[in-house]
């Protein structure tokens, strides 16, 4: 019984808190004006790999890989993703090691 008595008067406090939170959640005019000049968060389509890396750079990347460079190093050097490096090497059929038969 005492627990109910202690917490029975909390409803007005909860209601006031909800009201305060609702008022603070609404953006004011200044914040809306500031955010209107920002870029949209909509993602653009990624550029195709052939447009990100020139054919000469592709050949250089393959040669560097065959000379012993790590794929991670090549990604950093050519400013492309690791998966892009792997795609280029796979498409070129570049392999450092011969497959065991």
CA distance 94 to 9: 75
Which pLDDT score is estimated for 49? 73
Which pLDDT score is estimated for 83? 93
pLDDT tens column, 11-41:
777 777 777 777 766 666 665 665 555 555 6
Question: What is the average pLDDT score of the chain?
Answer: 78
Mean pLDDT of 64-76: 94
């Amino acid at each position: 019984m005492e627990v109910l008595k202690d917490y029975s008067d909390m409803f007005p406090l909860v209601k006031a808190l909800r009201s305060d939170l609702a008022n603070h959640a609404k953006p004011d005019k200044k914040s809306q004006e500031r955010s209107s000049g920002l870029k949209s968060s909509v993602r653009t389509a990624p550029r195709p790999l052939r447009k990100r890396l020139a054919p000469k750079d592709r050949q250089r990347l393959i040669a560097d890989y065959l000379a012993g460079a790590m794929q991670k190093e090549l990604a950093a050097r050519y400013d492309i993703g690791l998966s892009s490096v792997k795609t280029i090497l796979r498409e070129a059929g570049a392999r450092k090691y011969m497959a065991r038969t």
